[in-house]
Amino acid sequence: MITLHGKSVFGDICIGDIVFYKRKERVIKRYRVEDTDAEINRFQAAKSEGVIQLQALYEKALQDVGEANAAIFEIHQMMLEDLDYHESIINIITSQQVNVEYAIGVTADNFSAMFSAMDDAYMQGRAADVKDVSERLLTILDGTDTSNTDLNKSKSLDNPYILASDDLVPSETVQLDKSKVLGFIMQKGSANSHTSILARSMGIPAIVALGDELKPDYDGITAIVDGFTGTVYIDPDSKTLEIMKQKQAEAGEKKELLKQLKGKESITLNGQKIKIYANIGNTSDVGTVLSNDAEGIGLFRSEFLYLENNDFPTEEQQFLAYKQVAENMAARKVIIRTLDIGADKQADYFNLDKEENPALGYRAIRICLMQPDIFKTQLRALYRAAIYGNISIMFPMIISVQEIVKIKEIVKEVKAELTAEGIPFKDNVETGIMIETPAAALVSEDLAKEVDFFSVGTNDLTQYTLAIDRQNQKLDPFYQPHHKAILKLIKMAADSAHAEGKWIGICGELGADTSLTEEFLRMGIDELSVSPSMVLEVRKKVRETDLSK
């Protein structure tokens, strides 16, 4: 078994035999011509024919893969008719008195070199388009076809296969019988190359930039393409095959689930609705939030900004991160939790003292209230970013009203400062607190008067209620996540919230525990925030639940 790594452009798995597609090499000869006008005429004729071909390809692609993918052939037409391109070719023919093939070859090299030299990955990918257009002209001129028209007719292609090559150009992919292609593996290419765009629109695994390690000799050999990790297993051993088949089946179930549940409401059989949001820990997680169809972000842990840095993240750094997530989520809610450093999450530059009981120590909101400068920087960034989407702010580790009063004072100062500086921000941002200490649940009736929402952090709530250290594996036998005490505290918080007309969510691990979904629904929990991969399973559970029975 040989394992190769590349850049994945679509997360899925396929298993099949490799067909390595190798283009015939074209050799362009340079020779001197006397009659340059005749050469120019040959060029014009080839160009007219090329335009007709591209028009036909556009029509075909329109039917096969849709307008967005077909547009490339319209662009190819424009490239073919581009004046710069013409002038270059005609200029080379007349000034050097050479044949049209040579003029086209040189022009193609020059123009594609221009794209390759651009600092933008997308534009670099367009070098292939110039080559493709020029190749079309050369094919028309000498009648030899170097493209893969015969690929579909080839011997081994009765069965679906994994297509390997250096990189495919649009005119090659459009001619493929797409029902036969399981996945793409390419030596070259980028996330923006044509093969990648096509793979994404077909929804099949593709890995590009595998390099020369992907050898033409692998033609006919069985392989596994794991688009989740960007790995290709050539001639896999039986153990790998078994693992990947399992993974493939799971991905298939997931896809099926997604097909059934995407865009559907999270509603019980008797009509009770609940929102299902996702928890994330970095701006880069937004993609998986959207692909799993979460209705919002219920917990955006802001710690990554602090943990990934060697010093306190600046207001601007934070602002950009929050803004990006808010914009990417469009109108969907994004609940950002303020700094939750301390206990098991440490950053050196905070210079926190070593503590006997860190979980009961100087952490989260306690740091923010004792070191308001750190807190203010984050609040400024949050209130500024709130303009760009539907941001809510959530404060962790609350035990009493007293902290909320202090938080409100600081927020007021922050707003006054922003106003004085003339910096735009959103005034009425929804604010809430985490219910993760037994104290907070027990005084939730007072807390509910002060905030817009609650979100139960079940991991800490469990640790503090049961007095079980989460980090100590020895205590596992005593750990009872469904302990009645925890559920009672959640119920208490839910009743307090609802009595004040506020909403309550659950963002800890219990939120994704489908054996508790029904109980949470009965408590009237308004929102469950779970890891992105659990969103659809929880939605499925909700839709199967009937509370009228």
| Distance (Å, whole) CA 503 – CA 234 | 53
- Is 86 a catalytic site residue? no
Q: Is 546 an interacting residue with respect to another protein (CB under 8 A)?
A: no
Which of 84, 250, 316, 546 lies at the binding interface for another protein (CB under 8 A)? 84
Applying CB under 8 A, the site for another protein has a residue count of 20
CB of 83 or CB of 420, closer to another protein:
83
Tokens 């205590």 appear where?
A: 475
Strand segments (E) across 476-526: 503-506
Neighbour order of strands in the sheet with 206-208: 2-5, 231-234, 222-226, 13-20, 161-165, 181-186, 206-208, 7-10
With CA atoms as reference, report the closest residue to 334 among 298, 370, 365, 363.
Answer: 298
CB of 83 or CB of 331, closer to another protein:
83
| Distance (Å, whole) CA 421 – CA 358 | 38
Q: Is 85 an interacting residue with respect to another protein (CB under 8 A)?
A: yes
Cα-based torsion angle of the residue sequence 77, 78, 81, 83 in order, rounded to the nearest 10 degrees? -160
HEC profile for 412-470? HHHHHHHHHHCCCCCCCCEEEEEECCHHHHHCHHHHHHHCCEEEECHHHHHHHHHCCCC
Within 10 Å of residue 515's Cβ, how many Cβ atoms? 10
CB of 80 or CB of 232, closer to another protein:
80
In the chain the first and final C-alpha atoms are separated, in Å, by 55
Site for another protein in 104-123 (CB under 8 A): 111, 114-115, 118-120, 122-123
| Distance (Å, whole) CA 79 – CA 81 | 5
Rounded least distance, CB 175 to another protein, Å = 20
Check: CB of residue 88 under 8 Å from CB of residue 110.
yes
Within 10 Å of residue 411's Cβ, how many Cβ atoms? 18
CB of 35 or CB of 119, closer to another protein:
119
CB of 74 or CB of 446, closer to another protein:
74
Site for another protein in 414-453 (CB under 8 A): none
What is the H or E stretch that residue 472 is in? none
CB of 34 or CB of 119, closer to another protein:
119
In the three-class reduction of DSSP (H, G, I as helix; E, B as strand; rest coil), residue 28 is classed as: coil
Q: Is 78 an interacting residue with respect to another protein (CB under 8 A)?
A: yes
CA distances from 490 to 37, 396, 404, 502 (A): 86, 16, 20, 14
CB of 114 or CB of 370, closer to another protein:
114
- Is 14 a catalytic site residue? no
In the three-class reduction of DSSP (H, G, I as helix; E, B as strand; rest coil), residue 188 is classed as: coil
Which residues lie below 8 Å from residue 231, measured CB to CB, with a gap of 6+?
A: 3, 4, 5, 207
Check: CB of residue 357 under 8 Å from CB of residue 472.
no
Rounded least distance, CB 130 to another protein, Å = 8
Catalytic residue among 14, 194, 483, 498: 194
CB of 327 or CB of 344, closer to another protein:
327
Rounded least distance, CB 10 to another protein, Å = 19
In the three-class reduction of DSSP (H, G, I as helix; E, B as strand; rest coil), residue 481 is classed as: coil
CB of 122 or CB of 228, closer to another protein:
122
Rounded least distance, CB 134 to another protein, Å = 12
Rounded least distance, CB 183 to another protein, Å = 25
Rounded least distance, CB 77 to another protein, Å = 9
| Distance (Å, whole) CA 125 – CA 193 | 5
Catalytic residue among 14, 76, 368, 507: 507
Which string of DSSP letters, residue by residue, matches 305-373?
HHHT-SSPPPHHHHHHHHHHHHHHTTTSEEEEEP---BTTB--GGG-PPP-SSGGGSS-THHHHHHSHH
Stretch that binds another protein, among 83-91, 172-180, 334-342, 474-482 (CB under 8 A): 83-91
CB of 53 or CB of 88, closer to another protein:
88
Check: CB of residue 529 under 8 Å from CB of residue 506.
yes
Which of 59, 82, 235, 256 lies at the binding interface for another protein (CB under 8 A)? 82
Which of 12, 39, 101, 129 lies at the binding interface for another protein (CB under 8 A)? 129
Alpha helices for 148-237 (secondary structure H): 170-174, 194-202
| Distance (Å, whole) CA 490 – CA 520 | 9
Site for another protein in 38-77 (CB under 8 A): 71-72, 74-75
Q: Which residues bind another protein (CB under 8 A)?
A: 71-72, 74-75, 78-79, 82-85, 111, 114-115, 118-120, 122-123, 126, 129
Provide the annotated active-site residues.
194, 507
